[in-house]
Amino acid sequence: MSGESPQQPSLPGEPRPAEDRRHMIRRRALTLLIIVLLIGVPAGYLMISANQSRASGKDKEAKYSATGLTEGWPSKVQRRLYQVPVPHPAWWVASYETNNWKTSRLYVEFETTDAGLSAFLTSLGVQQSELRRDDITISERDRDVSGWTLAGPGTWSGLVHQQKDPAPTHDVVVNHDKPGYPRVYVVSRTVP
């Protein structure tokens, strides 16, 4: 047997041995790290989350406070709900949606090719031959809301594609000013 005796636990009334400096620094550093992790990480997460939420709210506010056409494709949900199949290729796409208790409307304008126009009309369930020359089928009220003048150079034609409720009704006007690249204006309205 060796002369060393195992260290005995101190009794409740006995003083503890003094802590050496290295151990004390390590213990304080570990305590500080735990405090930073317990407070800093959640606080940082909350700041990031709040900034993302604020940015999202500003985007939605801008979208829903728009008072006319805004550049960009209507959402897939809008295109499906209002049955406005914007063709590919299409460019200069803009849209605007209005809703009230009586009628909901989606205003869409885009430029496409002759094949794109034909595909769009076929998707609506009408033929290109149904377009009537010099027939501006979009009402004055809808032109005021959307900001469309629907006048000027080019050959204008239009049609109304009426469907049984709750399917939407489409007022379509096409400007053939640029040969091969028609500009299409659509108002799709539905009664909820």
Q: Residue 125's pLDDT is what?
A: 92
Q: Residue 78's pLDDT is what?
A: 93
Report H helices in 65-176.
Answer: 76-81, 114-124, 140-146
Question: pLDDT-based confidence at 180, cuts 50/70/90?
Answer: very high
Q: Residue 165's pLDDT is what?
A: 79
Q: What is the mean pLDDT of residues 66-81?
A: 86
Lowest mean pLDDT among 2-16, 88-102, 170-184: 2-16
- Amino acid code (one letter) for 126: V
pTM: 0.66
Question: What is the C-alpha R_g of the chain?
Answer: 34
